[in-house]
Amino acid sequence: MKKTVLFFIAFLGCTAVIKAQSYSVALIPQDLKSYAKAVVRKDERTVIISSPSNMVYQIKKATTLLNQTSEDMAKTVVLYNKSRKIKSLALNIYDANGYLIGKVKESDFEDRNYIDGYSLFQDDRIKSYRPVIRSYPVTVEEIIEIRYNQTLAIPDWDPQYHDNIAIEKASFEILKSPDYQIKFKSVALPDPEINTQGKAESIKWTLANVKANKYEPYSVNEDKRLPNLKISPVKFSYDGIDGEYTDWKGYGKWVYDKLLTGRQDLLPSTAATIKDLVKNCKNQKEAAQLIYEYAQKKNRYVSVQIGIGGFQPMKASEVDRLSYGDCKALVNYTSALLGIAGIESIYTEVKAGPERVNYLKDFASISQGNHIILCLPFEKDSVWLECTSKDMPFGFLGSFTQGRRALLIKKDGGELVKTPSYNWRKNLQQRNAQFELNALGSLNGKIRTLFSGIQYENRESLAELSPTKKEEQIKLSYRDIPDFEILSYNLSQEKLSPKWTEDLELSTAHFGTQNGKYLIFDINPVNVSKMDLKEVINRKNQLYINTGYTDIDTIKIKVPGNYKLETLPMCVNKSFDFGSYELKNTFNNGELLTVRKMIIKEGVYPPEHYEAFVNLYETAKKFDKSRCVLVKND
């Protein structure tokens, strides 16, 4: 084995010429600076696979940070654990002229636990360093080498991970024996160069002079547009366990057999508790809800991404004893509890986050997921559970995992499936407000609002706040009502829908403005659009709306009896393929009725639709601030 490793290193030396490079900013081509907050001067990455249980990852990357907007890119963070060991770690800092002004050794890095206070996660650690930057531009060069004792997760490559990053030179090379098979899938990358010398094979991707892109809001996900590379082994080793897969079915079969089987042991006392909990339930769904809520109350979530805390969940008995776990552990534990009641459940991998990212249909790799959820395949419809939340309603996933392709890990193998999607019709915020305005401009009244679908999340965090923090948040939500006092407030939850109902009673002495015989006030103090979109000339990217919604506001304002209508704001109705805005105002019997309806539809639309999209929000922003003018009766 040692000879093989030395041969790979010798081969690497033949394929790359190492020479001194100046990082002077003056040497960056001018067209690479356009739209860029940072320029990658050099990104050389090499993966050396000596055997299924021995992999080395080498990184030498220099990034010129052009201005303070790139400050977040200066920090270097390296994760390590028993299967991922740091062999070398250093930074070099260069000024705008390319002169070395700082050297950072591994001993200078902060070294800490990834999660403090949780004994089962003490093996996962982080080394990090953020240089003090006194002036820009500055170049940060990272030199990192990591040794893995597994090949299940071969590093992916995202050379241009944001639109506003340019690339001068970048390469990604895999060195392996010719008979060691890998699969790869790339986006916006040239075909690799493949060279074989004796017992070593090189597969190398290169990029040069890649310009930064002008930022375009509401664009499709970067992983569909910007250069990236996904790599997967055919045969591998993980924690001493050998495996092989070429598709999702084979991958799922390996995970089920090698990582999940035998992890759901529970004490007889726990089993007895669950059986007693569900003994009077009329059906499995009712029993599942009780078990889910039991697990929610009992356990705490510890945030550890898949791949950092390992790919295998803690045993259910450990979670039962400690009452905490990461997403893998809490899903496995909940599944074990459900199994006691004879309820089938399926461990499910997903790419979680605010943007919907799908598992690829034609390429299987472990790196595509970052979260675990649970699927209950009931006869008529499946129920999905988010096991990391203490408050999430039974059967509700929320924006974090909704509407995307995920992977069921079943006994007979992996199966791609789409998680439930909440569309613009379901994501409803419906508000009814009844106010009374007096001649001095004071206002009092009541507001009732229903939040459902993804808009349920608009009030999810509010329920757990202290009274003081809750009042602050309420006043922020209704900040277009000046200096109001909360007379009463109630937030009630309907978990099965799920839905929040918010009841607010308030008063303010500073709503209407007196101007001689006139009384002037805002017609819509409860839902004023704050969206500020910038126009994009010659837009290239499609318009992508990740989450749609419907807002309906009905506002009644009873005016003083000694005033009559002078000016009624105009009505508006604009409609496009991606949504609409409608505002209706009527005045009858001393009462102003305003009905506001705004719909935004999720989907992908042609680039030229973006101009109308901006126009729609500008219209809402303008007319939401409409004012009514009353005049005192003679």
Which residue, chain included where needed, has tokens 């000024």? 95
Listed in order, strand segments (DSSP E) in 546-622 are 549-558, 563-567, 572-576, 579-588, 591-600, 603-605
Task: Please say if the pLDDT value at position 483 is more than 90.
Answer: yes
CB atoms within 10 A of CB 62: 21
Closest CA to 275 of 344, 346, 345, 337: 337
pLDDT category at 116 given cuts 50, 70, 90 is: low
According to the model, what pLDDT value does residue 146 have? 98
Q: How many angstroms separate the CA atoms of 221 and 217, rounded?
A: 11
According to the model, what pLDDT value does residue 114 have? 80
According to the model, what pLDDT value does residue 307 have? 53
According to the model, what pLDDT value does residue 8 have? 42
Q: Phi and psi at residue 618, in whole multiples of 5°?
A: -65, -40
Q: What is the 3-state secondary structure (H, E, C) of 523-554?
A: CCCCCCCCCCCCCCCCCCCCEEECCCEEEEEE
- Report, as an integer, the average pLDDT of 609-618: 98
Residues 6+ apart with CB under 8 A from 456: 393, 396, 398, 498, 499, 500
Closest CA to 258 of 342, 370, 152: 152
pLDDT category at 5 given cuts 50, 70, 90 is: very low
Q: Hey, what's the torsion of the CAs at 441, 442, 446, 447, to 10 degrees?
A: 50
Q: Model confidence over 201-251: pLDDT tens digits? A: 999 999 999 999 999 999 999 999 999 999 999 999 998 899 999 999 999
Within 13 Å of residue 150, how many CA atoms lie on the same side as its CB? 21
Lowest-pLDDT choice from 351-355, 392-396, 449-453, 463-467:
463-467
Q: Are 47 and 59 in contact (CB under 8 A)?
A: no
pLDDT category at 109 given cuts 50, 70, 90 is: very high
What value does the mean pLDDT of the chain take? 93
Q: Model confidence over 245-268: pLDDT tens digits? A: 999 999 999 999 999 999 999 999
Q: How many angstroms separate the CA atoms of 314 and 57, rounded?
A: 28
Residues 6+ apart with CB under 8 A from 466: none
- Report, as an integer, the average pLDDT of 35-50: 98
Which residue, chain included where needed, has tokens 């990034």? 63
According to the model, what pLDDT value does residue 21 have? 62
Q: Is beta strand 165-176 parallel, antiparallel or unpaired with respect to 38-51?
A: parallel
Task: Please say if the pLDDT value at position 1 is more than 90.
Answer: no
According to the model, what pLDDT value does residue 360 have? 98
Residues 6+ apart with CB under 8 A from 510: 441, 442, 482, 483
Q: How many angstroms separate the CA atoms of 629 and 570, rounded?
A: 12
Helix (H) or strand (E) holding 468: helix 467-477
Ramachandran assignment for 240, one of left (phi > 0), alpha (psi -120 to 50 degrees), beta (any other): left
Closest CA to 51 of 258, 195, 203, 237: 237
Q: Model confidence over 300-326: pLDDT tens digits? A: 998 765 554 578 999 999 999 999 999
Sign of CA dihedral 228, 234, 237, 242: positive
Task: Please say if the pLDDT value at position 628 is more than 80.
Answer: yes
Q: Model confidence over 555-599: pLDDT tens digits? A: 999 999 999 999 999 999 999 999 999 999 999 999 999 999 999
Options 3.30.750.24, 3.40.1190.20, 2.40.37.10, 2.60.120.1130; CATH for 428-632 is: 2.60.120.1130
pLDDT category at 346 given cuts 50, 70, 90 is: very high
Q: How many angstroms separate the CA atoms of 489 and 503, rounded?
A: 6
Which residue, chain included where needed, has tokens 């220099």? 62
pLDDT category at 17 given cuts 50, 70, 90 is: very low
Closest CA to 600 of 628, 615, 614, 580: 580
**Angle, CA 218 vertex, CA 215 and CA 223 arms, to 5°:** 75
- Produce one character per residue of 484-514: b if its CB has 16 or more CB atoms within 10 Å, e if not: beeeebebebeeeebbbbbebebbbeebbee
Q: In this structure, what token pair is assigned to residue 23?
A: 């990082």
Helix (H) or strand (E) holding 202: strand 200-210
Closest CA to 404 of 414, 392, 422, 419: 419
Options 3.10.620.30, 1.10.287.3510, 3.10.290.20, 3.90.470.20; CATH for 245-418 is: 3.10.620.30
Please report, in angstroms and rounded to a whole number, the separation of the first and last CA atoms in the chain: 101
Domain residue ranges in the chain: 2-241, 245-418, 428-632
Which burial class, exposed, middle or buried, applies to 451 when counting CB atoms under 10 A from its CB (0-12, 13-18, 19+)? Answer: buried
- Report, as an integer, the average pLDDT of 611-628: 97
CATH class of 2-241: mainly beta
Q: How many angstroms separate the CA atoms of 395 and 325, rounded?
A: 21
Closest CA to 136 of 68, 61, 62, 63: 68
- Report, as an integer, the average pLDDT of 100-129: 83
pLDDT category at 122 given cuts 50, 70, 90 is: low
Task: Please say if the pLDDT value at position 520 is more than 50.
Answer: yes
Which burial class, exposed, middle or buried, applies to 607 when counting CB atoms under 10 A from its CB (0-12, 13-18, 19+)? Answer: middle
Q: How many angstroms separate the CA atoms of 365 and 129, rounded?
A: 30
Closest CA to 167 of 134, 197, 196, 205: 205
DSSP-H helix ranges across 16-114: 30-33
Listed in order, strand segments (DSSP E) in 438-498 are 443-452, 485-494
Q: Are 202 and 195 in contact (CB under 8 A)?
A: yes
According to the model, what pLDDT value does residue 634 have? 75
Q: Model confidence over 79-97: pLDDT tens digits? A: 998 889 999 999 999 999 9
According to the model, what pLDDT value does residue 380 have? 86
According to the model, what pLDDT value does residue 118 have? 52
Q: Model confidence over 425-439: pLDDT tens digits? A: 999 999 999 999 999
Q: Report the DSSP beta bridge partners of residue 64.
A: 39, 139
